[in-house]
Structure 1
Amino acid sequence: MCLGIPGEVVELVADQPDLARVSVGGVRRAVNIALLEGEEVAPGDWILIHVGFALSRIDEAEARAAMEFLEGIGQAYEDEMDALRESGIG
């Protein structure tokens, strides 16, 4: 199962305008934000991430609700988080 996971933007990668560093459950990874073309993305924003790409901006309440749901489904969420932790994307 592939999940869209909310993450908080912690910084924009200055020399790579399509990348942002995002914190997901305490794990920080670079995420491609090119699909959000036309939307301003800044540190503190929340985005929905799937396979390393930001799909949409979401608000903090929506991010919190999504995380509660994902944590509630158990193993599929844990598998997704393990894959994120093990990814080489920094």
Structure 2
Amino acid sequence: MCLSIPSKVVEIDDNNVATVETLGVTRKVSLDLISEEVKVGEYVLIHVGYAMQKIDTNFALESLEVYRQIADDMSDGKI
């Protein structure tokens, strides 16, 4: 099973490589597998260094809130 957390595109270089931010962590991912245009500020789902799909901003923000709650519950020993 693979869990993909929404990542916000913060920069795109000339080689179609995006810098994305995921819950405070930044990394570089290729945008080559996405057929539609991706812009800075939009959200993508990534897998092993590639953005796989662009997703709706509202859905991304809702998902991130759920992940934050899960992380908080884990650190509090609730899970």
Equivalence for 2:64: 67
Question: Whose Rg is larger?
Answer: 2
| Structure 1 consecutive aligned stretches of length 4 or more whose deviation exceeds 4 Å | none
**How many pairs align?**
74
Structure 1: which 5+ runs fail to align?
75-90
Gaps of at least 5 residues in structure 2 are 72-79
Q: 1:25 aligns with which of 23, 27, 30?
A: 23
Q: Name the residue aligned to 1:85.
A: none
RMSD after superposition: 2.4
* Residue 9 in structure 1 maps to residue 9 in structure 2: yes
| Alignment partners' CA distance in 2, 1:67 and 1:49 | 14
Normalised to the residue count of structure 1, the TM-score between the two structures is: 0.68
Q: TM-score, normalised by structure 2?
A: 0.76
Alignment of 1:24-63 (within 5 A): 24-36=22-34, 38-63=35-60
Measure how far apart 1:72 and its partner are: 4.1
Q: For the residues of structure 2 that align with 1:68 and 1:49, how far apart are their CA atoms?
A: 18
Q: How much identity, in percent, do the aligned residues show? A: 42
